[in-house]
């Protein structure tokens, strides 16, 4: 048996630097490309072949969830391999044995044992776990092990002992701003299970929509949504669906601000005079609940009666972010009440609201969770802080005795790279200086999918595959950090997720067809392959910016990170460092020629569509940038001194091309700048 330290494995997985793992024999088969990487893995010789007779036995403790998990596992395996799998049955010997010691909690809890032991040998597979949660994780690991080989589909022989680093590994989805059909949410829960995330945080109300049926206050959904909301039956089904996959469901009802949609039906909750209707544009609104009236808390008490019964999880998220205080300032009665109660400013008023709300939540036997702003000096210690502000705020909460989650660094709506998210660690920055006891208060993290600019058609692409990198950060040991390995495995998990029904790879083609009206918009696809949405909040500057704007532009149709541009950047790094192979020089040249020549083919069609007309300058720039790149490549390859004046003027052109067009960044600009720089200095 060949044991490898995990660090060595990560290097192996990156596909290079094999010799670093000195002193160890290398297995013939490639190392398994798992994500998240397990905490301990040993490889062995041989492999377990998959065929239609695979037979799974459940031993020890059992429950319906395990039977469902087995059936779902076989169905996924069948989709993944295309092999029709015979129904499981006692008529033939089991070759995949699952042994479960006992039950997990009736309502899944934070901190339950999620570990598992998985042994794959040519003769069979053994999976053991303390409870069904570990079984679910182990089955997903097995599915990731399966790949095509010269002998057919097979899982390599391995022994894995695995458990998570953090107990809270979440994905937040905002359906207040954009409603998405249940099937969209379900397939994303499937993908969460695949990468071992265990909390679905459902941001279900916001200024633009209240998306849940409330029986006590039906005007919440009737006036607070455009008819697009979830029924309580759908919610109950989703909670069961999530539980079957080892995922907790925590609702967020954002208060006291982000509440315009509440006021459409119940203006008496508001601090302003109204009338209110659901917001039809994005941004921070002035609307705020009135924390000075008892009737507000009476309403919320009844509201919590209904919601805490519907959502069984021990935690309940009340939001609490982004109050601008304008409605409070403008309301004379509120101002008078504040003076009478010695409340000095709006922060203190919000703190008062939060404290009252916390008592209500606690009275309903739930633990309150809120964004950074919820934390005040007198906040009860059991309140959990979700930090959008960052490690400093998170560490401060932990020092104060509160538990917390990191979301800063995991804002997947902002079109940042997988590498960026991967580098964000809940225990980095200020948190690294915490005591052990304080560090234990950092529960984990959550990726946050805010939905101003996504809908059911493209949301998969914003979540996946990058959230798999975040899942690894939250599950795997902290020294699993190799970015090349991460990207190599991210590509594999991305393909794997296609068999879970996600459209994160296929959506681009369909959207390009729609925007061009062409069956095979290949020149548009070339442009699409090297651009990515401008980061952070630049999308807000786009032409149309309200809730009814179609999300049909190129910025909506490409993923957050251009793989082609990243690969080109890697080539440029190798060329500049003098380490590029002839094939790499040739590949870089072929790409630059493709990009240079694309504009002439693409331009005639762009004005034929209202949607593609905006791409005229971007396409033109791509050609120009590629021409500059080709010249620099020539100079560099031929060791020819570059003309300094030409380099200077070209650098100016490149700097201009850095500026987003149609909210899209041309991602070959930075590597071409590097090429140009190198052509001077070599």
Which residues are known to be catalytic? Answer: 322
Q: Interacting stretch for a copy of itself, rule CB under 8 A, among 81-89, 169-177, 405-413, 436-444?
A: 81-89
Which of residues 60 and 517 has its CB atom nearest to a copy of itself in the complex?
A: 517
Which residue from 506, 544, 581, 586 is in contact with a copy of itself, where contact means CB under 8 A?
506
SS3 of 170, please? strand
Which of residues 207 and 373 has its CB atom nearest to a copy of itself in the complex?
A: 207
Least Cβ distance, residue 227 to a copy of itself (angstroms) = 5
Least Cβ distance, residue 287 to a copy of itself (angstroms) = 23
Which residue from 510, 590, 600, 648 is in contact with a copy of itself, where contact means CB under 8 A?
510
Binding mask 214-233 for a copy of itself (x = CB under 8 A): ------------xx------
Least Cβ distance, residue 658 to a copy of itself (angstroms) = 28
Which of residues 233 and 519 has its CB atom nearest to a copy of itself in the complex?
A: 519
Binding mask 462-481 for a copy of itself (x = CB under 8 A): --------------------
CA-to-CA distance for 389 and 367, rounded, in angstroms? 21
Tell me if 151 contacts a copy of itself by CB under 8 A.
yes
Supply angle C-alpha 548, 550, 553, rounded to 5. 150
Cα–Cα distances (Å) from 142 to 9, 87, 89, in that order, read 18, 19, 20
Which residue from 515, 580, 662, 675 is in contact with a copy of itself, where contact means CB under 8 A?
515
Report the residue count for the chain: 682
Tell me if 494 contacts a copy of itself by CB under 8 A.
yes
Q: Interacting stretch for a copy of itself, rule CB under 8 A, among 13-21, 168-176, 198-206, 542-550?
A: 542-550
Tell me if 617 contacts a copy of itself by CB under 8 A.
no
Which of residues 265 and 521 has its CB atom nearest to a copy of itself in the complex?
A: 521
Phi, psi for 229 (deg, rounded to 5): -150, 165
Which residue from 607, 640, 655, 658 is in contact with a copy of itself, where contact means CB under 8 A?
607
Beta-sheet strands, E only, within 617-671:
664-666
Which residue from 22, 25, 64, 82 is in contact with a copy of itself, where contact means CB under 8 A?
82
Which residue from 13, 204, 492, 558 is in contact with a copy of itself, where contact means CB under 8 A?
492
Is 434 in contact with 404 (CB distance < 8 Å)?
no
Which residue from 26, 29, 57, 83 is in contact with a copy of itself, where contact means CB under 8 A?
83
Which two three-digit tokens encode residue 236?
Answer: 């109950």
SS3 of 188, please? helix
CA-to-CA distance for 180 and 241, rounded, in angstroms? 16
CA-to-CA distance for 85 and 87, rounded, in angstroms? 6
Binding mask 417-456 for a copy of itself (x = CB under 8 A): --------------------------------------x-
Tell me if 517 contacts a copy of itself by CB under 8 A.
yes
Least Cβ distance, residue 119 to a copy of itself (angstroms) = 23
Within 8 A by CB and 6+ apart from 559, the residues are 461, 504, 508, 532
Which two three-digit tokens encode residue 12?
Answer: 């192996």
Cα–Cα distances (Å) from 254 to 176, 289, 354, in that order, read 10, 11, 11
CA-to-CA distance for 576 and 657, rounded, in angstroms? 21
Tell me if 638 contacts a copy of itself by CB under 8 A.
no
Tell me if 516 contacts a copy of itself by CB under 8 A.
yes
Which of residues 108 and 529 has its CB atom nearest to a copy of itself in the complex?
A: 529
Which residue from 23, 436, 550, 604 is in contact with a copy of itself, where contact means CB under 8 A?
550
Per DSSP, 359 falls in state H
Supply angle C-alpha 542, 674, 639, rounded to 5. 145
Which residue from 93, 106, 150, 275 is in contact with a copy of itself, where contact means CB under 8 A?
150
DSSP class per residue in 367-427: EEEEEGGG--TT--TTPEEEESS-HHHHHHHHHHT-EEEE-TT-BGGG---HHHHHH--TT
| Sign of the Cα pseudo-torsion (625, 453, 282, 328, in order) | negative
Least Cβ distance, residue 505 to a copy of itself (angstroms) = 8
Which of residues 78 and 376 has its CB atom nearest to a copy of itself in the complex?
A: 78
Tell me if 543 contacts a copy of itself by CB under 8 A.
no
Which of residues 34 and 628 has its CB atom nearest to a copy of itself in the complex?
A: 34
Least Cβ distance, residue 605 to a copy of itself (angstroms) = 11
Q: Which residues are registered as beta bridge partners of 624?
A: none
Which residue from 24, 495, 536, 541 is in contact with a copy of itself, where contact means CB under 8 A?
495
Which of residues 386 and 485 has its CB atom nearest to a copy of itself in the complex?
A: 485
Q: Which residues are registered as beta bridge partners of 156?
A: 47
Which of residues 601 and 640 has its CB atom nearest to a copy of itself in the complex?
A: 601
Tell me if 94 contacts a copy of itself by CB under 8 A.
no
Tell me if 81 contacts a copy of itself by CB under 8 A.
yes
Which residue from 498, 535, 570, 634 is in contact with a copy of itself, where contact means CB under 8 A?
498
Q: Which residues are registered as beta bridge partners of 105?
A: none
Which of residues 16 and 152 has its CB atom nearest to a copy of itself in the complex?
A: 152
- Burial 370-389, CB ≥16 within 10 A → b, else e: bbbbbbeeebeeebbbbbbb
Tell me if 603 contacts a copy of itself by CB under 8 A.
no
Which of residues 341 and 601 has its CB atom nearest to a copy of itself in the complex?
A: 601
- Burial 279-308, CB ≥16 within 10 A → b, else e: beebeebbbbbbbbbeebbebbeebbebbb
Which residue from 552, 603, 643, 677 is in contact with a copy of itself, where contact means CB under 8 A?
552
Q: Which residues are registered as beta bridge partners of 533?
A: 664
**Residues 18 to 77: which contact a copy of itself by CB under 8 A?**
52
Tell me if 514 contacts a copy of itself by CB under 8 A.
yes
Residues near a copy of itself (CB under 8 A), total: 47
Phi, psi for 516 (deg, rounded to 5): -95, -20
Which of residues 483 and 491 has its CB atom nearest to a copy of itself in the complex?
A: 491
DSSP class per residue in 437-468: HHHTTEEEEEEEE--TT--TTTHHHHHTTHHH
* Residue 193 exposure: Cα atoms within 13 Å on the Cβ side: 30
Q: Rounded to the nearest 10 degrees, what angle do helices 563-576 and 669-681 cross at?
A: 10
Residues lying near a copy of itself in the complex (CB under 8 A): 52, 79-84, 86-87, 147-153, 226-227, 455, 457, 491-492, 494-495, 498-499, 506, 509-511, 513-517, 519, 547-548, 550-552, 607-611, 613
């Amino acid at each position: 048996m060949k044991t490898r330290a995990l660090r060595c494995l990560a290097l192996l997985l990156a596909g290079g630097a094999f010799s670093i793992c000195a002193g160890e024999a290398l297995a013939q088969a490639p190392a398994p490309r798992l994500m998240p990487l397990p905490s301990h893995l040993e490889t062995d010789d041989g492999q377990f072949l998959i065929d239609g007779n695979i037979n799974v036995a459940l031993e020890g403790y059992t429950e319906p969830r395990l039977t469902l998990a087995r059936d779902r596992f076989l169905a996924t395996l069948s989709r993944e391999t295309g092999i029709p799998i015979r129904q499981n049955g006692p008529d033939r010997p089991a070759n995949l044995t699952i042994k479960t010691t006992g039950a997990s909690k009736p309502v899944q809890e934070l901190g339950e044992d999620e570990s598992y032991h998985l042994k794959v040998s040519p003769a069979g597979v053994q999976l053991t776990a303390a409870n069904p949660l570990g079984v679910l994780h182990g089955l997903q690991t097995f599915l990731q092990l399966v790949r095509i080989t010269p002998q057919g589909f097979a899982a390599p022989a391995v022994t894995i002992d695995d458990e998570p680093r953090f107990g809270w590994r979440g994905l937040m989805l905002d359906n207040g701003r954009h409603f998405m059909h249940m099937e969209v949410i379900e397939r994303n829960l499937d993908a969460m299970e695949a990468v071992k995330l265990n909390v679905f945080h459902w941001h279900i109300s916001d200024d633009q929509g209240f998306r849940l049926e409330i029986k006590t206050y039906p005007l919440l959904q009737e006036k607070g949504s455009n008819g697009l909301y979830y029924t309580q039956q759908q919610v109950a089904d989703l909670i069961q669906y999530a539980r079957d996959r080892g995922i907790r469901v925590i609702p967020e009802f954002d208060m006291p601000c982000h509440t315009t949609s509440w006021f459409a039906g119940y203006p008496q909750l508001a601090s302003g005079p109204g009338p209110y209707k659901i917001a039809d544009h994005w941004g921070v609104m002035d609307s705020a609940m009135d924390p000075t009236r008892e009737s507000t808390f009476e309403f919320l008490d009844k509201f919590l009666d209904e919601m805490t019964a519907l959502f069984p999880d021990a935690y309940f998220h009340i939001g609490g972010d982004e109050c601008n205080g304008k409605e409070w300032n403008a309301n004379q009665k509120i101002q008078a009440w504040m003076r009478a109660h010695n409340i000095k400013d709006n922060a203190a008023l919000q703190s008062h609201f939060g404290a009252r709300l916390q008592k209500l939540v606690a009275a309903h036997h739930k633990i309150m969770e809120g964004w950074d702003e919820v934390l005040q000096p007198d906040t009860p210690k059991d309140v959990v802080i979700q930090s959008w502000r960052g490690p400093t705020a998170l560490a401060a909460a932990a020092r104060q005795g509160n538990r917390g989650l990191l979301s800063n660094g995991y804002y997947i709506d902002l079109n940042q790279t997988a590498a960026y998210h991967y580098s964000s660690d809940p225990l980095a920055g200020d948190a690294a200086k915490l005591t052990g006891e304080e560090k234990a208060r950092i529960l984990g993290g959550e990726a946050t999918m805010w939905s101003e600019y996504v809908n059911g058609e493209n949301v998969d692409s914003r979540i996946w595959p990058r959230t798999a990198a975040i899942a690894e950060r939250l599950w795997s040991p902290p020294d699993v950090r190799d970015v090349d390995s991460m990207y190599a495995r991210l590509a594999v998990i991305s393909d794997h997720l296609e068999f879970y029904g996600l459209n994160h790879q296929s959506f681009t083609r369909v959207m390009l067809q729609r925007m061009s009206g062409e069956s095979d918009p290949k020149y548009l696809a070339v442009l699409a392959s090297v651009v990515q949405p401008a980061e952070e909040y630049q999308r807000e500057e786009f032409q149309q910016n309200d809730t009814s704007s179609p999300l049909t532009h190129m910025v909506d149709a490409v993923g957050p990170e251009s793989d082609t541009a990243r690969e080109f950047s890697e080539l440029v790094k190798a060329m500049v460092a003098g380490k590029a192979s002839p094939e790499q020089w040739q590949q870089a040249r072929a790409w630059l020629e493709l990009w240079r020549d694309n504009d002439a083919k693409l331009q005639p069609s762009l004005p034929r569509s209202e949607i593609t007309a905006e791409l005229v300058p971007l396409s033109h720039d791509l050609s120009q940038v590629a021409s500059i790149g080709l010249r620099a490549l020539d100079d560099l390859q031929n060791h020819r001194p570059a003309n300094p004046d030409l380099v200077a003027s070209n650098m100016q052109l490149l700097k201009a091309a850095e500026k987003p067009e149609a909210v899209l960044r041309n991602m070959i600009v930075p590597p071409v700048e590097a090429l140009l720089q190198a052509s001077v200095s070599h």
